[in-house]
Structure 1
Amino acid sequence: MSSGISVIIYHVKDLARAKELYGTFLGVEPSTDSPYYVGYEVGGHQIGLVPDAHERALTGPVCFRDVPDIAAAHRALIAAGAESEEEPHDVGGGMLVSSVKDVDGNVIGLRQHP
């Protein structure tokens, strides 16, 4: 797997309210602003807001690590004892994401650039 955490995603219920709050907190305007994702570039990292908290039982942020082969990384984490939360899938423009839960229920995210 590659090194470093590249993205931190917050799953939110109200994207407009979250966008206002995180814009104030981070002190920058969004670099990506769409109905399904709002992203902020801060110190070489991306902080993202995804409006799907009402669909998921997640609380807290999910950190994503960039990997060269998401399918292989996902399988390796499952083999190491994780449980699949979200199978690798395209979220637009060829960007692939997936996530697993560790044995304590913490979510670990993976991301592969096109």
Structure 2
Amino acid sequence: MSPTIRSLVIPASDLDAAKAVYTALLGAPHTDESYYVGYNVDGFEVALNPSGENAGPVAFADVEDLDATRETQLAAGATERSAPRQVASETRICVLADADGNPIGLRGR
């Protein structure tokens, strides 16, 4: 399976304000929690992250093996912004950065 970008996570320092703007654009969210607001746009996930831990939006590539892909990216020169962590029962994520500091999100097992 080749990596497929299926989601974009947007930091939101004011979740209610961000939710109002994105709901006006994308319609009602499928998930509306204090820790995550998610919209389905024709099978593509647009999410609001109130922790705002990244400097900007992060596109996440779905990968079969998160650890192997992460190691390949680090060996190629990427740096780690956030270590792998569990976000759902069978889903982990991490964020790396390229040489210019642009985020590279990975989502997998």
In structure 2, list runs of 5 or more residues that go unmatched: none
Q: 2:88 aligns with which of 84, 92, 111?
A: 92
Q: Following TM superposition, by how much is the alpha carbon of 1:93 offset from its aligned partner in structure 2, in angstroms?
A: 2.6
What is the distance in 2 between the residues matched to 1:112 and 1:105?
22
Check whether the contact 1:2–1:65 (CA below 8 A) recurs between aligned residues: no
What is the distance in 2 between the residues matched to 1:11 and 1:45?
17
Percent sequence identity is 39
- Return the TM-score normalized by structure 2: 0.92
What is the distance in 2 between the residues matched to 1:3 and 1:107?
15
Matches within 5 A, 1:1-114: 2-26=2-26, 28-53=27-52, 56=53, 58-59=55-56, 61-112=57-108
Q: Following TM superposition, by how much is the alpha carbon of 1:34 offset from its aligned partner in structure 2, in angstroms?
A: 1.0
Q: Following TM superposition, by how much is the alpha carbon of 1:57 offset from its aligned partner in structure 2, in angstroms?
A: 5.2
Q: Following TM superposition, by how much is the alpha carbon of 1:3 offset from its aligned partner in structure 2, in angstroms?
A: 3.2
State the AA in 1 paired with 2:19.
Answer: K
Q: Following TM superposition, by how much is the alpha carbon of 1:2 offset from its aligned partner in structure 2, in angstroms?
A: 2.7
What is the distance in 2 between the residues matched to 1:73 and 1:57?
20
State the AA in 1 paired with 2:12.
Answer: V
What is the distance in 2 between the residues matched to 1:2 and 1:37?
27
Over aligned residue pairs, what C-alpha RMSD do you find?
Answer: 1.4
What is the distance in 1 between the residues matched to 2:43 and 2:70?
25
In structure 1, list runs of 5 or more residues that go unmatched: none
- Return the TM-score normalized by structure 1: 0.88
State the AA in 2 paired with 1:34.
Answer: E
SS, match of residue 88 in structure 2: coil
SS, match of residue 3 in structure 2: coil
1:112–1:57 CA distance, 2 compared to 1 (3 A): closer
